Amino acid sequence: MDLFDNGFLTYLVPLLNWLQQPGYPALFALSFLASTLVPLGSEWLLVLMLVRGYDPAVSVLTATTGNSLGACTTWLVGRYGGDWLLVRLFRISEQQRQRAEAWYQRYGILSLLFSWLPVAGDPLCLVGGLLKIRFTTFLLLVGVGKLVRYAAVAWLTVKMAA
């Protein structure tokens, strides 16, 4: 059986090929996906685009917007997904859930400023929804954290490329 007979791969391969072409729509899409529970990174495309001469401010805003909206989908899964999604689909155990909630209780909602971290970021957004953190507060904290991260990556890239 050919690997590409699978219906999922039929759609995934063109998407991945499209994402390899630098441009603002690709940066937005990759940044969005990278901030969901899909294990991707978007910084590499931001760096590539900046090295190729794309506008740093527009690139940072595009990546920040996509990444923040992706985090919102993860928040929505936590808020409205219910136990079935969390346990069956994402395989989050009750122990993991309690540990994440304890982390939030200890460090507070300001921990959402670190939602850009590679391993901890997505669970922080998910638990933000589980704990019913107010959406406007969530979006503000997550957006600021992601903006600072992308701005730092852009600044370093432009500085090193000069």
pLDDT at 73: 93
Block means of pLDDT (10 residues each) for the chain, 162 residues, are 54 64 88 86 94 95 97 92 73 72 82 84 86 95 97 96 82
Task: Provide the whole-model pTM.
Answer: 0.79
With vertex at residue 33, the alpha carbon angle to CA 51 and CA 52, rounded to the nearest 5 degrees, is 10
Beta strands in 9-57 (DSSP E): none
Angle formed at CA 159 by CA 154 and CA 162, multiple of 5 degrees: 120
Helix (H, G, I), strand (E, B) or coil at 142: helix
Q: Which amino acid is at 116?
A: W
pLDDT of residue 67: 97
Residues 60, 66, 69, 70: is their CA dihedral positive or negative? negative
Name which of 31, 50, 59 is nearest 159 in CA terms. Answer: 50
The pLDDT of residue 4 is 47
Query: What token pair was written down for 140?
Result: 């503000």
Q: What is the pLDDT of residue 1?
A: 43
Q: Is 114 exposed, middle or buried (0-12, 13-18, 19+ CB in 10 A)?
A: middle
- Find the angle CA(79)-CA(80)-CA(85) to the nearest 5 degrees: 105
